[in-house]
Amino acid sequence: MHLPSGLQLGLRFAIPAHWPPEQAFAVAELLDELCRRIGSEYQLPLHALGREPKPPAPAPNRPPNLRRFLQLAQRDTSGSRRLAQVLLGLWDGARFRVDLQDLLNLDPNLFDQTLHLLRHLYHNDRQLDSILSYQQMLPVIQAWGPSFDIQIP
């Protein structure tokens, strides 16, 4: 392989098989943040070099990483709140309201992943409740449901 940097070989990384999912998730988050920061600092020079960092275009049939979405949506951050709002609204729109304006406040990577989820649901004619069970959504419902619940008790 010949890379634009002039290197003949890419870097080889061995990912330990003994990592728990939480550790792998933490490393993935770190790399996402590193890519975001490099992109925001060097966007124009990278674009000029033809190497702008961006995620690969997802195939509509490839399902998004919903496990990661669920983990992120349970956290106590503004981004998690917005993601939870989208997931809850897609999962049960009659019960949970979604302010589409909040989508514009997601960080770029999460925004792209959310669009991938929407495209996946659209192209495969699926609803989120056919993919995620009540048990899977329960932690998100418990964390954020009361904030978005529009049902009158």
The reply to whether 53 falls in a domain is: no
Res 79 pLDDT > 50: yes
The reply to whether 19 falls in a domain is: no
Contacts of 14 by beta carbon, 8 Å cutoff, 6+ apart: none
For residue 36, the Cα-to-chain-centroid distance in whole angstroms is 13
Q: What is the mean pLDDT of residues 64-80?
A: 87
Residue 16 vs residues 21, 23, 40, 153: alpha-carbon distances, Å: 11, 10, 30, 49
Token representation of residue 17: 């098989």
Residue 1 banded pLDDT, cuts 50, 70, 90: very low
The reply to whether 136 falls in a domain is: yes
Q: Taking Cα atoms as reference points, which of 107, 104, 101 lies closest to residue 36?
A: 107
Range of the domain at 108: 66-148
Angle ∠(100,123,85) on CA atoms, nearest 5: 25
Res 112 pLDDT > 70: yes
Q: With contact defined as beta carbons under 8 Å apart, do 62 and 120 qualify?
A: yes
Total domains in the fold of the chain: 1
